[in-house]
A and B are shown apart, each in its own frame.
Chain A
Amino acid sequence: MSTHPHYSYEGIEVSEDLDEFLKRMRRVERRIREYIEEGIRKTLEDIREEYYSINTLLNPSWSCEGHLRPLYTIKDVGNAYVIYIDLPKADLNTIDVRFKDNLMIIRARLTEEFTISRWSGRGGEVRFCEYREVINLPIKVDPNKVKVITKGDRIQVIINKE
């Protein structure tokens, strides 16, 4: 009869040495898994970062043709999507919001043309005259279910989901 103490691993009786070995293997396995997970997480982060950087580089917020892209956010409030759009210096009578499938198309002329004076380079020579933006929405829009509220030079667009 063996004098070595007996341990159980997944219902199978094993010796102490083998049990210790299996424990070490499990620790190594866990460390490898954590290392791989950390590597994947870091890689995904780097990809996201690069995507954002390229996106920013290739989608400037202004154009030499004189139009600006407004800031906007899309919020999901449960039963609706609410889009806020910031349109400083916009002529409120010229704000035009249209929908096509899942796109929201915004245009608005400025109250007056302006240049960003003292800004060196071509940008400082551009006479900005209007806002233009096309926003990708998470759903296809029925214009009848849309409410547009203007408050000063900011717009709130409420799109009901139902």
Chain B
Amino acid sequence: MSVHREEILGDFKLVEYVPFKLTRPSYGVVALPDAGLVGVIAAWHIIKALGLKEVGGIDSYSYLPPAIVVSNKELRMPVRIFAGDDILLIYCEFTLPIHGMAQLSRILLTYFERKGVEYLLLMSGLPIQNRFEVERLRSYYVATSSRASELVKGVEVLPFENGYLVGPYALLIKDAMSFRLDTLMLLTESFLEFPDPEASARNLELLSKVINKPIDVKELLEQAELIRIRARDTMKDVVRNLAQMKKGFEYSPPLQL
């Protein structure tokens, strides 16, 4: 593992393997384990579809398990950083405890700011109780600014008007508002406790229109069953962590409606 630059940020270590720059407008994407592993599944497909290169990694002895990722004989950190021309993507399959997630969120946003990222794009699942019966999945968006809302102009997606968002992405959005980073989150109805590649595919179709890049989801849908099998262990771990974060709140209507 070659190291171009290394930095200690709080309880985390950030390493860049190679120098890189982003063209404008640039997008930051963060994939963390959440409902249905929708974001993580989508992110891995983006990496393959757009040919993103692994440029760095993040580790923490306090908040991440003592683990290393071995990928194509290369040793990689548990939180992986990929980059393309105008996309900087953070990918993590490991769930962090809340305190760790809070710190990581701020570190990621600081890093995005330093790299000149203009928009933060997040994708996740919106768990629904009757996902078993639902065939046609609805998608929603949450935007932190009018500039971010402009990204979905002309895109067939509903605004998420009222409700709760709970979990790692909620932390990211809160911090993104403090950092004044224009953020757009796409949410597609999904299972909470089962990997949901169909929801990921729907999010990717929308993302493709948002960033104006073709992302073909055919292969993702063909591989959906295999993805669901491979993701079982990760999913079990995620469900437990989401329960600790009180993810069940998302099923409740807010009192102020």
Contact = CB atoms under 8 A, between A and B. Distances in A.
Chains A and B bind each other: yes
Interface of A: 52, 56, 61, 68-71, 73, 84, 86, 88-89, 114, 116, 120, 128, 151, 153-154, 156
A45 to B, nearest CB: 9
A130 to B, nearest CB: 12
Given A56-B236, A71-B235, A156-B132, A84 B229 contact: no
A86 B226 contact: no
Contacts of A52: 240
A88 B225 contact: yes
Nearest to B228: A88
Interface of B: 70, 132-133, 191, 193-195, 224-226, 228-230, 232-233, 235-237, 240
B199 to A, nearest CB: 14
Contacts, number: 45
A71 B232 contact: yes
A73 B232 contact: no
B243 to A, nearest CB: 11
Nearest to B230: A116
B228 A86 contact: yes
B232 A61 contact: yes
A86 B225 contact: no
B133 A151 contact: yes
B134 to A, nearest CB: 10
A89 B222 CA distance: 11
A154 B226 contact: no
A153 B225 contact: yes
Contacts of A86: 191, 194-195, 228, 232
Given A52-B240, A73-B193, A116-B230, A88 B224 contact: yes
Closest 3 CB pairs of A and B: A88-B225, A88-B228, A86-B194
Contacts of B193: 71, 73, 84
A120 B70 contact: yes
Contact of A89 (B225, B232, B237): B225
Nearest to A114: B226
B236 A61 contact: yes
A120 B75 CA distance: 14
A125 B198 CA distance: 28
B133 A88 contact: no
A154 B233 contact: no
Nearest to B224: A88
27 contacts: A52-B240, A56-B236, A61-B232, A61-B236, A70-B232, A71-B193, A71-B195, A71-B232, A71-B235, A71-B236, A84-B193, A84-B194, A86-B195, A86-B228, A86-B232, A88-B224, A88-B225, A88-B226, A88-B229, A89-B225, A89-B229, A114-B226, A116-B229, A120-B70, A151-B132, A151-B133, A154-B132
